[in-house]
Every structure is written in C-alpha cells, then in structure tokens.
Amino acid sequence: MTTMAERTRTTSGAPGGTRTLTLGKAVNEGLRAAMRRDDKVMLMGEDIGPLGGVFRVTDGLQAEFGEQRVVDTPLAESGIVGTAVGLAMRGYRPVCEIQFDGFVFPAFNQITTQLAKMHNRTRGAVELPVVIRIPYGGGIGAVEHHSESPEALFAHTAGLRVVSPSTPQDAYTMIQEAIACPDPVLFFEPKGRYWAKGEVDLDAEIGSSTLDAARVVRAGTDVTLVAYGPSVETALKTADALAQEGRSAEVIDLRAVSPMDTATVVTSVRRTGRCVVVHEAPVFFGAGAEIAARVTEECFYALEAPVLRVGGFHTPYPVAKHEHDYLPSVDRVLDAVDRAFAH
C-alpha cells in the first residue's frame, strides 16, 4: 500500500504560483489537486455535482473528473458514510460532504462505531482513509441545524482525527493532507469564513506538518489566546484590541482538536502565565475544557490565573437574530482577559 509520505511527496499538480483565494475556493483547489494526484480519490455528497454543493466548494469538479469520481448521492448521510467505509476497504480514498453540521447526526453511528473502530477491530489490518467534510459554526444567519459545532462529540471518539482550518492556505494544504492520511479525518470547515480571502501558495509541499500541529499566528508575552477554526479571527481581533491597551497577546491556532498539540500551547502559557480558550461550541464539556485541564496539569506553577474559556452557551443554537449574542465576541474575550489579570 502506498504510504502517506509517498502520496504527499509531490506538490499539488495544480497551476503553480501564489493566488488570492477565498477559504471555500482554497478547499476546492485542494480537492482538485488531490484528485489529479491520485485517481483513487473520489467525492460523495448531496448536490455536489453540477450544483457544486450548497457553498459551491465542489464547483467544477464533476465536469473535470466525471460522475464516477464526483458522485451526487441520495439524501442519506448514513448511507453516504457507510458506502465510504466499503469503498475505503476496497482501496479508494472517499471524501464525503455533509451539507451542514447539524445533518451529520444520522451518520453518527456509522462514524463512531464503524469508521472510528475498524482499524483497531482488525488489529491494524484494515485502514479507512475516509475524509468527512463538514461546514460548521455560525455567523451566516441560518435556520436550525445549520450552525452547530459538534466537533467535541467526535474528538471524544478514539480513532478519529478532528481538524479545522482557519485560513485559505491551511484549507488548501490541510484538505490534501487529510485525504492522504491513512486515518479517518473529520474536516470541519468554518462556513462563516468561506468568503474570507488570503494568499495561497499552490506550490506548497503537501506533507503532514499542518494537519496536527498548532501554530503561533501572533507572538505575545502577557496572555495566550487559544482558538481554532472560525474563532482564530476573533482571537486576532482581540489581540489587536489588547495591544491598544498595552497588553501583548499570543494567539495560537490549534488546527487539530484531536489529536491535540498541547506542547505548543504549554510552551506559550509557561511564558505568558495566562490562558484564555475561545471556540464557538458550547463551553460545557467542550474542547476548551480539555485544553484547560491539560494546561493546568502542565503549567500549574507558571499560571498567574485560572485558565478561562469563552464560547457558546449550554443551549440549542439560537435563531439568526440572536446568534451574535451567542457566539464568542471580542468583547467577551476581552472580559475574560480582564478577569485573568484581576487575579
């Protein structure tokens, strides 16, 4: 079997150079590059063919690669993932699109009892290189079941990788690394950031470096802000506001919720002495709780204040006109930083 390193040693195969792309278009280009590189890569999902998906992330791919590799499926998420499991067992590398975050739950059983466990169940004999793309998070004024953040449910399940890009460059590289990975990957795409633009190096070498590794996106000395996906931009705006107050915030983009790169976070907190975690998902039993626990264990004697969390509330996601009261804002993060400095 071709190893991940062998699959990702070459560059994308897409037109080279640097282009300004939206995050959604960067995912599209990453999918295109992976499909050009490996004819075992195929896409499956509802309305992903001629329509190009609800968010047009798969736009143009069926025209280029055909109906056998970009498959419009029935409206049946459990069937999509179940079929992907069988295809992966036969040597394919299926990429499934779930239209919206709240639609993933009909496939929850297939993901957590089959996809996550088959490798262990067969004592390593069977690999399931399946990617499940999930547009997630709020900020687009959508109706019920269209703005949820269920990443913690899957991160709690052993055998699954759970990742989320925050920039077009990461979207481009990480989707290719996820497809090349021998493990099942839940690829959470921040839908509120689909139209955010950034420079993308289409010649970037595709390896495994960005799939699991957190990155320091802004250096600082006084407090560490940890975020991922859509909340990274909120953390960066908070850091700008803190700079005007004379406080220096270090911002870390976690990238992966599972496995979690706590070493990068711990190194930062040992220097700054304070940590605030930001995510859109509810704070209660969220990813921030795991980060807070690990930081407290590793940095207890370096901490100047408790690790604080800012996120959604322990309620169903609200109607569109109230979502901005629910989502973590710069003001709410600033309040948490003020509380951290009050200790």
With beta carbons less than 8 A apart as the criterion, state whether 162 and 151 touch.
yes
Strand partners of residue 199: 20
* Distance between CA atoms of residues 231 and 253, nearest Å: 9
Tokens for 195?
A: 């139209």
Write down the catalytic residue from 119, 146, 314, 324: 146
| Burial zone of 74 (CB within 10 Å; 0-12 exposed, 13-18 middle, 19+ buried) | exposed
* Distance between CA atoms of residues 178 and 185, nearest Å: 6
Q: At what angle do helices 168-180 and 23-37 cross, to 10 degrees?
A: 30
* Residue 268: partners with Cβ closer than 8 Å, 6 or more residues away: 216, 224, 250, 252, 275
Exposure string over 22-52, b if 16+ CB within 10 A, otherwise e = bbbbbbbbbbbbbbebbebbbbbbbebbeeb
> For 152, phi and psi rounded to 5 degrees?
-65, -30
* Distance between CA atoms of residues 277 and 35, nearest Å: 36
> For 323, phi and psi rounded to 5 degrees?
-65, -30
Tokens for 34?
A: 């992976």
Catalytic residue at 146? yes
Strand partners of residue 166: none
Report, as residue numbers or ranges, the catalytic residues.
146
